[in-house]
Structure 1
């Protein structure tokens, strides 16, 4: 099934129920479908054709949700963009996938214009929330189209497409080298993943799901897709920066489902003065990053005694790979469960055969939800999607190290590459090194991660400087202009040389060990 059909079918089945709640705005399924059709018509009228890419650079909002289904309805491949990207990162994306249209919020005008100039590719620009455009930015809108103006038009749509092998989404992530890769997900892939997630969470049209996870990331995107498939109501929050306010909203809306990451769980555990009668009646909580510490699990149970807690493991290349049933949480608190129904998750050894119990190996995934490959990157695709030794088809090599216990439950051990998650987002230390070395006055730089009780990991950097006047503040400013916030080191430590192994290679492990000793 094609993904845009989910919204069309749901609107026909139950047009009146609320589909989206964003701030004070409420959108029924009928209105959601109607507005998506209108924006799709406007895209087609301005030259977007089937197979073109439409990039979306917006925060969680009704406009972002509408644009996702509009792009699909126009036959395009939707490219969700993290609005926290720096211009350099957005420019790389524009050069790589050359979108026909870029839909973004007015507050991102400067970012988008800088990226477009650097990329040398100028897509059609559609701007949302133009009421907040500053006088300085207003002049740059001369060639742009107002998002709301598109919704006022009624343009005939092309005939509906039936091929579910077309690409639905191109979602950029970072690999071990730090170079962003576009994950190609077909309509069939996405529909399969959404169906499996909705099945094990037992979602239906009585659910109200609150998500503070960005729609531009896989975990957040699937909150929308699963909600539409199930007929649930999705309450979108821009962030979890003010947890008390988010919980008040959740209580007012009668939220039953709450997806989170460990950082959010830690924030909830630290809250004081929460009254049980002011908390939402949660049916379930999901966690799709590192496993939750026992103290956080206890805190969540104290706050939401009726909620079932699902621990899950997923990655952009297949959305979700495993889940731990709530009834198994106490016996296997550090596990991420077993493979999704109808899929396969195996721990393999260096020869590609299934590893023995409690032996560390790489996790490989097989199923209808596995990506088609990486956009414009056949080498990376060949490394990630490889034939199984028994000739049974291709498997996704995750690059993550796992163990399987005697009962078949999977336990995450670590990442084969050096990519780590900080505040729920993947961070490549190598990419940070490259930015630091590009700073005038820096001779060498090495970033590394150490454990953090709140965020799971924190990022710091060792710097060998040629310029004695170089300061931490100057380095931080340099990084903030070029990297997402999660990739900016928390501290910069000046040293005469970097730690090296016996063979002369710099070592992040030694750097982390030195930092822990110093603390």
Structure 2
């Protein structure tokens, strides 16, 4: 039995050494080569003094070296944390200090930010630059090739720990304050990856195209699950230019394509989508935020041979729910049921299950639930609360859901997203789904403007492709599809809406703006 997830790479390399593990641009890396390089990185970490449980921060764009950083750190018995390459020096310095990282893996273009952050991180012992040189003296950077050459792979022990050991810290990007480091053990990672690949019916012959940042756990798990299965990962840096990325679906024989709502919005708006791109795709997945039903329908038309999986997840448990594709036509706005081997229910403020139709907080239990937040017992206590057994803690997600009579779950909104207008509770997500169904709307967010009579006057913020679309048409559309108290009273058109690095619209930032108060951007 493979108890630790770094064993996945060794197993895949032994089973099919010549198979391509990662495609990155013109580079194609076989499993044997990926394994060998990860072993050398692990040996170099050990030679540099990284001991069991120490942290290595990977501050890189999507790359083969980032994958080596992940598996090499695990092989050395360490804990990895991948940080988005757009992160600024102050936030990186916080992560380095909070995690107590001893090694930082980065690239030449990010070195100014890395060095600025490193100067405030006295515990950092080594900075490795994947595409540069360095003398490595006095805490200075060392080149990747020299670093790899410094280790002795033959001296690595066959086993460096058990599945209860910490594997990774995933730093969340909240809307205020400093990010929190979500603690995931090898057992957590193995459980989540096994559950997800089971319901996706993922296979070793899959080819997965991922443009998602490896710093985003949805993107990270594309790498982890591919290696677990011995599948191939086609890794791109971003989806900024869809016309350059989408042809890879056909060129690389892609069978699986993970999406976030921003990507789906771009795809469904394309006027020249080539059906050949979609021909081999067996399944599409979506998480981060629920897809508008109108976008789901269009994706099904564009990818007629693909199953579409609507899912809901959060960093603290990786994935919570999935909707069987056969249910999409019946309940396109549902995010489904608990993933295999777990339980999820809608609870009142005391954590007691609520009956069907009532709105409450989603609570999750299972082997995928985090161990807590690194160095943050107060936040941990708010999220993890006593469960069925004396030793168990269940995750209180902070998200509002309802469940139908057949046990399918529906996302309502964040607890702090719900707006009160005319004495009624309004879910921004419900209104936004209607807005997205309107022709010409690319991005939509609903905020509440303080009003002495209404409580909140509803305001729609839109990014549109149709220049003749006006506020009166938008309000009329909403009035035809929504109850009167949910219809926006104001409409504002913008060039773009602020988003997090994982593609979510910064609703809290927009709401703070509507209320005339500032909020720190993550």
- Band the TM-score falls in, shorter-chain normalisation: 0.7 to 0.9
Please name the residue that 2:47 is paired with.
Answer: 45
| Structure 2 CA distance for aligned equivalents of residues 86 and 188 of structure 1 | 32
**Superposed counterparts of 1:311-322, under 5 Å:** 311-322=310-321
| Structure 2 CA distance for aligned equivalents of residues 488 and 279 of structure 1 | 27
1:45-90 deviation digits (Å, cap 9, x = unpaired) = 1111111000000111111011110010010000111111111111
Residue 259 (structure 1) aligned with residue 258 (structure 2): yes
Residue 75 (structure 1) aligned with residue 77 (structure 2): yes
| Structure 2 CA distance for aligned equivalents of residues 222 and 286 of structure 1 | 12
Classify 1:285/1:454 alpha carbon distance in 2 versus 1 (closer, same or farther; 3 Å).
farther
Please name the residue that 2:413 is paired with.
Answer: 414
Please name the residue that 2:360 is paired with.
Answer: 361
| Structure 2 CA distance for aligned equivalents of residues 9 and 139 of structure 1 | 34
Please name the residue that 1:387 is paired with.
Answer: 386
| Structure 1 CA distance for aligned equivalents of residues 505 and 274 of structure 2 | 37
Q: Is the 8 A contact 1:176 1:418 kept in 2?
A: no
* Residue 391 of structure 1, CA deviation: 5.3
Q: 2:156 aligns with which of 155, 158, 170?
A: 158
| Structure 2 CA distance for aligned equivalents of residues 451 and 195 of structure 1 | 40
Q: 2:141 aligns with which of 139, 144, 155?
A: 144
Please name the residue that 2:29 is paired with.
Answer: 27
| Structure 1 CA distance for aligned equivalents of residues 78 and 136 of structure 2 | 29
Classify 1:316/1:452 alpha carbon distance in 2 versus 1 (closer, same or farther; 3 Å).
farther
Please name the residue that 1:289 is paired with.
Answer: 288
| Structure 1 CA distance for aligned equivalents of residues 138 and 269 of structure 2 | 44
| Structure 2 CA distance for aligned equivalents of residues 139 and 373 of structure 1 | 35
Please name the residue that 2:374 is paired with.
Answer: 375
- Give 3-state SS (helix, strand or coil) of 1:110's partner: helix
Please name the residue that 1:273 is paired with.
Answer: 272
Please name the residue that 1:439 is paired with.
Answer: none
* Residue 115 of structure 1, CA deviation: 1.2
* Residue 379 of structure 1, CA deviation: 1.1
1:123-160 deviation digits (Å, cap 9, x = unpaired) = 310001228xxxxx999998212113334455134311
* Residue 417 of structure 1, CA deviation: 3.8
Residue 13 (structure 1) aligned with residue 15 (structure 2): yes
1:4-36 deviation digits (Å, cap 9, x = unpaired) = 001111111111111100000011111111110
| Structure 2 CA distance for aligned equivalents of residues 485 and 260 of structure 1 | 11
Please name the residue that 1:424 is paired with.
Answer: none
Classify 1:128/1:508 alpha carbon distance in 2 versus 1 (closer, same or farther; 3 Å).
same
- Give 3-state SS (helix, strand or coil) of 2:246's partner: helix
Please name the residue that 1:124 is paired with.
Answer: 126
| Bigger mean CA deviation after superposition, 267-276 or 333-342 | 267-276
| Bigger mean CA deviation after superposition, 110-119 or 10-19 | 110-119
Please name the residue that 2:108 is paired with.
Answer: 106
Q: Is the 8 A contact 1:323 1:336 kept in 2?
A: yes
Q: 2:515 aligns with which of 484, 487, 511?
A: 511
Residue 227 (structure 1) aligned with residue 229 (structure 2): no
Classify 1:485/1:221 alpha carbon distance in 2 versus 1 (closer, same or farther; 3 Å).
closer
Q: Is the 8 A contact 1:182 1:374 kept in 2?
A: yes
| Structure 2 CA distance for aligned equivalents of residues 488 and 352 of structure 1 | 29
Tell me how many residue pairs correspond in the alignment. Answer: 444
1:271-318 deviation digits (Å, cap 9, x = unpaired) = 122222344510000001222223212221222110000000111111
| Structure 1 CA distance for aligned equivalents of residues 502 and 38 of structure 2 | 32
1:219-239 deviation digits (Å, cap 9, x = unpaired) = 000001111111110000000
| Structure 2 CA distance for aligned equivalents of residues 234 and 247 of structure 1 | 15
Q: 2:87 aligns with which of 79, 85, 88?
A: 85
- Give 3-state SS (helix, strand or coil) of 2:6's partner: helix
Classify 1:326/1:357 alpha carbon distance in 2 versus 1 (closer, same or farther; 3 Å).
same
Please name the residue that 1:184 is paired with.
Answer: 183
Classify 1:142/1:340 alpha carbon distance in 2 versus 1 (closer, same or farther; 3 Å).
closer
Classify 1:263/1:489 alpha carbon distance in 2 versus 1 (closer, same or farther; 3 Å).
closer
Q: Is the 8 A contact 1:44 1:157 kept in 2?
A: no
- Give 3-state SS (helix, strand or coil) of 1:354's partner: coil
Q: CA RMSD in A?
A: 3.2
| Structure 1 CA distance for aligned equivalents of residues 464 and 194 of structure 2 | 33
- Give 3-state SS (helix, strand or coil) of 2:367's partner: coil
| Structure 1 CA distance for aligned equivalents of residues 279 and 345 of structure 2 | 37
Classify 1:168/1:485 alpha carbon distance in 2 versus 1 (closer, same or farther; 3 Å).
closer
| Structure 2 CA distance for aligned equivalents of residues 300 and 140 of structure 1 | 53
5+ residue gaps, structure 2:
419-427, 430-446, 448-457, 466-497, 517-522
- Give 3-state SS (helix, strand or coil) of 1:383's partner: helix
* Residue 94 of structure 1, CA deviation: 1.3
- Give 3-state SS (helix, strand or coil) of 1:180's partner: coil
Classify 1:210/1:141 alpha carbon distance in 2 versus 1 (closer, same or farther; 3 Å).
farther
